[in-house]
Structure 1
Amino acid sequence: MKTMKNWLLTGLLFMVVSTVFSQGKVTGTITDASGATLPGANVAVKGSPSGTSTDFDGKFTIDAKTSTGELVITYLGYDSKTLQFSVSNGGTTNLGEIVLSANSNELSEIVVKSSIVDIAKDRKTPVAVSTIKAAEIREKLGTQEFPEILRNTPSVYVTKSGGGFGDSRINIRGFNQNNIAVMINGMPVNDMENGSVYWSNWAGLSDVTSAMQVQRGLGSSKLATPSVGGTINIVTKSSDMKEGGSFSSGFGNARNFKIQGSYNTGKLSNGLSASVLLSQTMGDGYINGTQFEGSNYFIALGYGTKDDKHNFQITVTGAPQWHNQRSTVSTIATYQKYGSLTDPNIRYNADAGYLNGEEYNIRKNYYHKPVASFNWDYKINETTKLSSVLYASMGRGAGAGATGGVGGNLYNGSAFVLPNGMVDYDKIQAWNSGQGQVFFNGANRTRTMIGGVYQNSSNTGRSGAGTTASPYVYNTTAGISQTSSINSHDWFGAVINLNKKLSNTLTLDFGIDARTYTGYHFTVVNDLLGGGEFYDNTVASLKPAGRHITATYPTDVQWNVFDKKNYEKISFNSTGKVRWYGAFTQLEYSKDNLTAFVQGAISQQGFKREDDFVYLPTDPLTSTDYENILGGNVKGGANYNLNEKNNVYVNAGYYSRQPFFNSVYPNNRSTVNPNLTNEKIIGFEAGYGFRSRFFNATVNVYNTTWNDRYLKGNALPSDATTYTEYLGLNEVHSGFELEANSNITEKLKVNAMFSYGIWEYKGNATVNAYYQADNTPVVGYTASPVYMDKVKVGDAAQMTASLGASYEVLTRVTVDANYNFNDKLYAGLSPINFSDPNNKGALQLPSYGLVDAGFSYKMLVGKDKDKSVNFRLNVNNLFDKIYIAESRTNTFADDNLPVATGQTAGSKGTYASNGMLYNGVANVNQVFFGFGRTWNFALRYDF
């Protein structure tokens, strides 16, 4: 009996050891419902750190440490699936083809591990959301700007603006990008002083983005972000992805060239992982004189403990770049002048020219804004998780332009424009260096020295108002310089979130959001363009003598962002400091088919201004105290799944948003605005979703009210030393949105979008006037009304639609095309134009539609066909459509031409009666045309 017990005990022990130490492999192929393979799908053994990703043919192999278990399979945009497996010791089990069901608006919780990243989940999070996957970004973006991949999303309008590299802008539901929250891995990236997002600083994001999600409306972010119009959530690569890498190269029109390489170690046996990506791009730019060059680097290091309790990620990414710009907005007539009446030269750039035989543009942007983050996700227990991110960003760079003038002519004034429209920078340099030039009504003049030197300054060479009482007075002493407005910053922040599952139905989140920002704003001299010195008399403590400056600084990208260069500054020098302390909480209920949440956040923003140019050292305004302002939001919503195919949702919220820095301290002065008030945003939304194997659709309606919007205006026509402010400016944005996609057949896929908005100003506003010197009210000026009620909000198309399709004509050979239509597009507005209650409202621009097309081919290579060579051709605006993308002015075809003093109003007729129209629009309007046909070809090797 004892022997039998020993044998039994030994046998049980052998079975336990065999179970614990048995090792095998599980393989399979992941596809969608049409049979197309899904590369990059995540495969993990449940309860184990073992994980892998499918290769470029959808295949995977994973090591199993136990003889039985469950595989969890997830992929962006698809429902997750859990499968049981069993494997013999040393054997291999093939699960065959595993089909995932499409779910176009979902991002996997396994892919996004941190609870800081507020990713909306389909049929659960009650917000309007669209998701763009990495494969689509990689294939279709091509040479377009990063935000342009979103143009086929409902209520999104994207333009290239001036057309320089990274100068594009985006609107969501009629709100510009200053009022759209942009988040990268849960970190807010909107400028803390003005809410801006400069896409040239983030040009490398297209290379490292795993997925991008657009949440229209108030969104699901727990932070008190500026998401009036929506939130763009960008999730980048992590270090623990599948081992492998890629090399790619691409080229396109305008000598556009890009090369890229990346490699990922995958998660090693010791828990460490690393990922690195490097790329370089350059080109001439589609617009004349917009040459550019940009780099991109991405480094991620990760570590995960064996018990899966801790996950650490360190990420550093940056995209140093320089690009020449088109900052001058020309009139339609100017584009026609250098093209033809029917075929305007849409590439014309009034800032571009030649200097010393080479292309030259005095308008240039150069910037480097690396971001480093440390993420720590700590699974405390089965019901509690702590997620933290510490981040830092040091931006260094500027925008270069021109200062000064000659006889009242600026650098691209009529005196310096050649017959072909290019700027004669050689003539500027010749004048600056004392060579005689023809100016001042055809007379040949030579520049006059001051103190034995040709002295540049901010003087334009002309004084006086050009009136009888104050006629123009010209001088021959002034010149033109290239100067840069530095806009550097140091930004540090932290977001900490505790996620606690209170019960099977309730989950509580609460956390803190802390940020500190210091912005450095000053001007430096880049190039005297032949002059001998720059005279500056803006430092209060050095007046009236001023300073004579000879130091110049190149417009080169600063790679070492830790070096705070000791510049000799001119014109202005101020430092803006912003402190942000925030707290947030969210309670979520989820049971069966119902999910609901309520969320609240509060923040205190403190604004401080330092200025040692305008103010004497003894003046307390040299360094102000912090002006602290409270704000916050509360929002909630619910989603109910009627059945497996149908769901409905609603949400509502209220924001009290603090004003931006330049609203607190208007006109670059240190006097606090006496009219400070928080902007109030109220949003409502309701939606319906349908999901099936072959067809998905989402419909939603919304209403957003934006009250007490702050807006600064121009000087009064009668006094150039003033500026204006508009109080009580309110807007209402309502609309309808539809998004759908379908697998018509196994090879044919179709997607569509339609949105219709009614975006209008509500009620009338009031304009006040203040002196620029000290922000005090203009003596004798009475606040006057501006009649904005029912005027359309400009700068974005209020009706958009798109229809696209892709078809696999042969195995791994795909062609695709998309048509995008934009209508009800209105010009940008200046409220000063609405002082008359009988105004004409906003100028409507012509509608337009664009066709994009592409061709893809993937060739499997390698001994096991586990590597691939990928070919991609994109053609944007296939039919070379000429269209107006935006207008800065609001002149109507039936407006009267301006008349001289003493002439009868209307005596010259209207723009229409004089034939001064282009496509029905008065040709005096200042516009940017969109790009014509562009193309690019890319070749990528994945291994």
Structure 2
Amino acid sequence: MKTIKNWVLSGLLFMVVSTVFSQGKITGTITDGQSSLPGTNVAVKGSKIGASTDFDGKFMINTTANSGELVISFIGYDAKTVKFTVANGGTTNLGTIVLTATSNELSEVVVRSGVVDLAKDRKTPVAVSTIKASEIQEKLGTQEFPEILANTPSVYVTKAGGGFGDSRINIRGFDQRNVAVMINGVPVNDMENGAVYWSNWAGLSDVTSAMQVQRGLGSSKLAISSVGGTINVITRTSDMKEGGAVSTGFGNANYLKVQGSYNTGIMKNGFSASVLLSSTTGNGYADGTQFQGKNYFIAFGYKPNDKHDIQFTFTGAPQWHNQRSFANTISDYLKYGSNGEPNIKYSSDWGYKNGEQYAWTRNFYHKPVMSFNWDYKISEKSKLSSVAYASWGRGGGTGNIGKSPFSYKTADGLVPFDDFVAFNTGTYTFAKGESLTNLGTPLKPSTIAGHEGEYITNRSTGFTRRASINSHDWYGAVIDFNTKLSEKLILDLGIDARTYTGYHFRNINDRLGADVYYDNVNVNNKPAGRYLYETYSASPSFNPWTDVKNQEKIEYNNNGYVRWYGAFTQLEYSTEKLSAFFQGSVSQQGFKREDTFIYLTTDPLYVTDYENILGGNVKGGINYNINEQQNVFINSGYYSKQPNFQAVYPNNKSIVGENLTNEKILGLEAGYGFRSRMFNAKLNLYYTSWKDRYQRATDAAADNVGGYYDYTGITEIHSGIELEMNAKPLPKLNINAMISVGDWTYNGNSISNRYDANNEPVGGAAKTLYLDNLKVGDAAQTTASLGASYEVVTRVFLDANYRVAQKLYASIDPSKFTSEVNDGTLELPSYGLMDAGFSYKMLVGKNKSDSVNFRLNVNNVLDEVYISESRTNNFTTPTSKNYNGVNVTNQVYFGFGRTWNFSLRYNF
């Protein structure tokens, strides 16, 4: 018995010793090509042995296997399998292993230019979310470009009227005039009013490599309108890897898109080129909103050595689309609906002319942008980055002029354009007309000398479609000098210069059968006036330098000139644990106005001098990495924002306004981040104070015709909390979630200043606006979403997302709150939307290096009927008719019902 025990003990000892001596070590470092990836999961395939990388991205695994495979995974990156061999008792160092971001396109992005301000995870102390190109390509489908951000905290996006490119975005309660949009470091907000017209950028989704949203004042070095946040869009570059793609997509409402692209990659001589072309057409979800858009992108690059990198890009997206620009009352949607349900597609802006769809409101525009980037590596410590850019916008939007057409509708609620043509040509009779109301006595042939027998319309008689033209020429440059003062300190110094000329006038687009249009508004042509025979197309010109100066103009003709000179500096401090930045910028905006219609050419006000206004910002922040999983940050900033062009020259006159006060924005923010191999989370708290917000209202008093009120001291307080999470509990399952709760209110009341039609102060009782504690409208203050993606089998994915919008308030006009007794801001019904998708990627080609990608999207799967926004603030009363608790007199837009699209893409 003792002998047996000895044999057993000896055998066990031998096994232990053998195990110890056969155990080896595997080490390595995991990065994304630029920085380490702490918390990456590294596991031996087919076993339970694994480890996570430390703060520096390093890992070590003990294994008894002499060979095998490591499976490496990290949220947001493609899993990677690496083979290993290890000798008994030895150590194998696999070196640096680079993970590729889930988006192949994102892996191509190397931001070399110092003019592009992108936040870095666990380093830049701002609240930030990044959208990858693959997600945009897959999930955008027939949606508008800003809608890809709908599941981002504190972001509210609507389609507005639903026309192609007419969507709008709101961040932390601030509309897009106060959200800075940057493309490759170049600001694109309109220099006169800060607006962003997404229809001008309809092709941007095709050429985007990555998009980053920085909420709050952000990390941009420029003095830009980043009150609510900054949207940074990084486009394709000429030196993407060699290859190309062709794709097609189709969907509901006859949506059809075709696209092709090709990249040469960097050739032996250092040159590279990239080109993309696409075309998109459709009928639009809302009735009468047909559209057609083209897109082109051309890029050339030259990299002769490691010191110089030159990039030239030229891109544009000429488009036209019929609009639903008038928000109808709920009662109208119900009237043209059925079974007590509203017709959410109804539009009152269109009808038929000669059997074809025709709309009063049609937008047409072509805004190409050309940029030249040069990055010069002066030394190992210093770099000069610069971009020179130009943009030429040509186009506008149509509408009606003359006899008011809005009370005339067919039995289906459409515009009777054929009746209008008959009216303008003297052939209309009520008995034969389509209109529900008699148009009255039609036009008669003219007896005016020289115009005998002609049918003449003007600004009050007949029906005419005119176009309001808003064209511009825009030139600018940003230059940034970056130098390393030490291993921990980096200094940036730079300048930002821009010049802008806006051309604003109206012309005749369609006389609707009449022979001539008579204009007598231009004071330089009175009293005789002018008889105008020219009509101008409402389709975009592919020539971006189309002459606008010699067109026949009606109603108004003025040019706005804006000059912008800015300087900025930024100091960054960085260690493994701590990073901080301090930034300051100053800008001078100059505004000049030229008016050839309301002033005689001999009048000094015909052309003004520049009115120069100084502004700027200061901001700073600190990020501290507690360990490889946790970090915290704080930031703060102050922005003195100049008034816009309309504030400088109010009332469409060339007299500088009295109340030129800079808006003052104070921002405070704190955040916490957690990152591990299975779960990531970001928590942010923010507070933004917006003082001296610009507000103007028409004075309706009979003793001040053409006058207005300017309001001073309007203050908004925007505060809230944001939580963004993603998890990978299983290798094939990704879960994303977010919730944001905001409290956006007015703080205090406001006193008015009264002015006459010539911008001169006038007497009279001052009005008080009772705004204190009033909710800021036009966006949902609470939003949440939950989504998941699952790889059913290899390269076959199913995904779904559900998002909720609550505390959604109507858009309000603060100037209407002149009584201390009021109902406040109208809260609209909450709603929830589900989106779902299916993807399959099939590898093809000799080495399986090419792929065919299939994608199906279904948006609003449950076909939810919901109000996305209200233009009015009418509360229910004991006698009012209501829909879903909302007074039916409110003018609203309903969101889209269920939509779908399918795309097929071949990458080679």
For the criterion TM > 0.5, the same-fold answer is yes
User: Residue type matched to 2:496 in 1?
Assistant: D
Alignment counterpart, residue 470 of structure 2, candidates 463, 487, 495: 487
8 Å contact kept, 1:634–1:654: yes
Structure 2 unaligned blocks of 5 or more: 1-30, 44-71, 85-92
CA distance in 2, matches of 1:627, 1:174: 31
CA distance in 1, matches of 2:135, 2:106: 15
Pairing 1:446–2:442 present: yes
Pairing 1:530–2:513 present: yes
Pairing 1:391–2:427 present: no
What corresponds to 1:458 in structure 2?
Answer: 459
What corresponds to 1:661 in structure 2?
Answer: 645
Alignment counterpart, residue 738 of structure 1, candidates 711, 719, 723: 723
CA distance in 2, matches of 1:435, 1:599: 69
CA distance in 2, matches of 1:238, 1:685: 34
What corresponds to 2:419 in structure 1?
Answer: 427
Deviation of the 1:940 alpha carbon: 0.4
Deviation of the 1:543 alpha carbon: 1.5
Secondary structure at 2:713 match in 1? strand
What corresponds to 2:565 in structure 1?
Answer: 581
Alignment counterpart, residue 365 of structure 1, candidates 348, 359, 363: 363
Deviation of the 1:376 alpha carbon: 0.4
Deviation of the 1:528 alpha carbon: 0.7
Alignment counterpart, residue 846 of structure 1, candidates 810, 824, 829: 829
Pairing 1:910–2:879 present: yes
8 Å contact kept, 2:577–2:625: yes
Deviation of the 1:253 alpha carbon: 0.2
Deviation of the 1:864 alpha carbon: 1.3
8 Å contact kept, 2:804–2:831: yes
8 Å contact kept, 1:115–1:387: yes
Secondary structure at 1:489 match in 2? strand
What corresponds to 2:322 in structure 1?
Answer: 324
Deviation of the 1:910 alpha carbon: 2.7
CA distance in 2, matches of 1:883, 1:510: 49
User: Residue type matched to 1:925 in 2?
Assistant: N
- Within 5 A, what are the aligned runs for 1:78-477? 98=97, 100=99, 111-306=110-305, 308-340=306-338, 342-405=340-403, 410-411=404-405, 413-414=406-407, 416-438=408-430, 445-450=441-446, 451=448, 452=452, 453-459=454-460
Instruction: Describe the superposition over 1:676-717 as per-residue Cα deviations: whole angstroms up to 9, x where unpaired.
Output: 110000000000000111111000100000000112223416
What corresponds to 1:623 in structure 2?
Answer: 607
8 Å contact kept, 1:29–1:96: no
8 Å contact kept, 2:40–2:73: no
Pairing 1:635–2:635 present: no
8 Å contact kept, 2:109–2:209: no
8 Å contact kept, 2:108–2:240: no
8 Å contact kept, 2:455–2:514: yes
8 Å contact kept, 2:394–2:546: no
8 Å contact kept, 1:514–1:580: yes
Query: 1:506 and 1:727, CA in 2 relative to 1: closer, same or farther beyond 3 A?
Result: same
8 Å contact kept, 1:107–1:119: no
CA distance in 2, matches of 1:441, 1:114: 62
8 Å contact kept, 2:858–2:898: yes
- TM (normalized to structure 2)? 0.88
Query: 1:885 and 1:441, CA in 2 relative to 1: closer, same or farther beyond 3 A?
Result: closer
Query: 1:402 and 1:524, CA in 2 relative to 1: closer, same or farther beyond 3 A?
Result: same
CA distance in 2, matches of 1:528, 1:735: 52
Secondary structure at 1:381 match in 2? coil
User: Residue type matched to 2:883 in 1?
Assistant: Y
User: Residue type matched to 2:567 in 1?
Assistant: A
8 Å contact kept, 2:586–2:617: yes
CA distance in 1, matches of 2:442, 2:845: 72
CA distance in 2, matches of 1:443, 1:877: 42
Deviation of the 1:781 alpha carbon: 2.6
Instruction: Describe the superposition over 1:651-679 as per-residue Cα deviations: whole angstroms up to 9, x where unpaired.
Output: 00000000111110112110100111100
Secondary structure at 2:693 match in 1? strand
CA distance in 1, matches of 2:98, 2:365: 46
Instruction: Describe the superposition over 1:323-363 as per-residue Cα deviations: whole angstroms up to 9, x where unpaired.
Output: 00001110000000000364200000000100011111121
Pairing 1:929–2:898 present: no
Deviation of the 1:765 alpha carbon: 1.2
Equivalent pairs, count? 825
CA distance in 1, matches of 2:182, 2:847: 40
8 Å contact kept, 1:107–1:120: no
Deviation of the 1:454 alpha carbon: 2.4
Secondary structure at 1:201 match in 2? helix
Deviation of the 1:102 alpha carbon: 7.5
Deviation of the 1:539 alpha carbon: 1.1
CA distance in 2, matches of 1:108, 1:813: 21
Identity of aligned residues (%): 63
8 Å contact kept, 2:171–2:229: yes
User: Residue type matched to 1:434 in 2?
Assistant: G
User: Residue type matched to 2:345 in 1?
Assistant: R
Alignment counterpart, residue 865 of structure 1, candidates 827, 830, 848: 848
Deviation of the 1:555 alpha carbon: 1.0
What corresponds to 2:531 in structure 1?
Answer: 548
Pairing 1:771–2:776 present: no
Stretch moving more, 571-580 or 716-725:
716-725
CA distance in 2, matches of 1:443, 1:697: 63
CA distance in 2, matches of 1:99, 1:748: 22
Secondary structure at 1:667 match in 2? helix
Deviation of the 1:726 alpha carbon: 2.2
CA distance in 1, matches of 2:741, 2:263: 44
Deviation of the 1:118 alpha carbon: 0.4
Deviation of the 1:101 alpha carbon: 8.8
What corresponds to 1:14 in structure 2?
Answer: none
CA distance in 1, matches of 2:191, 2:106: 28
CA distance in 2, matches of 1:164, 1:669: 32
Stretch moving more, 212-221 or 760-769:
760-769
Deviation of the 1:761 alpha carbon: 0.6
CA distance in 2, matches of 1:252, 1:102: 29
Structure 1 unaligned blocks of 5 or more: 1-27, 37-72, 86-93, 460-477, 895-908
What corresponds to 2:657 in structure 1?
Answer: 673
User: Residue type matched to 2:291 in 1?
Assistant: F
Instruction: Describe the superposition over 1:27-58 as per-residue Cα deviations: whole angstroms up to 9, x where unpaired.
Output: x999996899xxxxxxxxxxxxxxxxxxxxxx
Stretch moving more, 825-834 or 313-322:
825-834
Deviation of the 1:107 alpha carbon: 8.2
Deviation of the 1:96 alpha carbon: 12
User: Residue type matched to 1:375 in 2?
Assistant: N
Deviation of the 1:436 alpha carbon: 3.3
Superposition RMSD in Å: 2.7
8 Å contact kept, 2:659–2:710: no
CA distance in 2, matches of 1:776, 1:751: 56
- Within 5 A, what are the aligned runs for 1:68-87? none
What corresponds to 1:755 in structure 2?
Answer: 740
Stretch moving more, 561-570 or 131-140:
561-570
CA distance in 2, matches of 1:80, 1:221: 33
User: Residue type matched to 1:445 in 2?
Assistant: T
8 Å contact kept, 1:768–1:782: no
8 Å contact kept, 2:811–2:873: yes
CA distance in 2, matches of 1:739, 1:689: 10
8 Å contact kept, 1:75–1:108: no
Deviation of the 1:875 alpha carbon: 0.3
User: Residue type matched to 2:781 in 1?
Assistant: Q
CA distance in 2, matches of 1:290, 1:486: 20
Secondary structure at 1:423 match in 2? coil
- TM (normalized to structure 1)? 0.84
User: Residue type matched to 2:358 in 1?
Assistant: Y
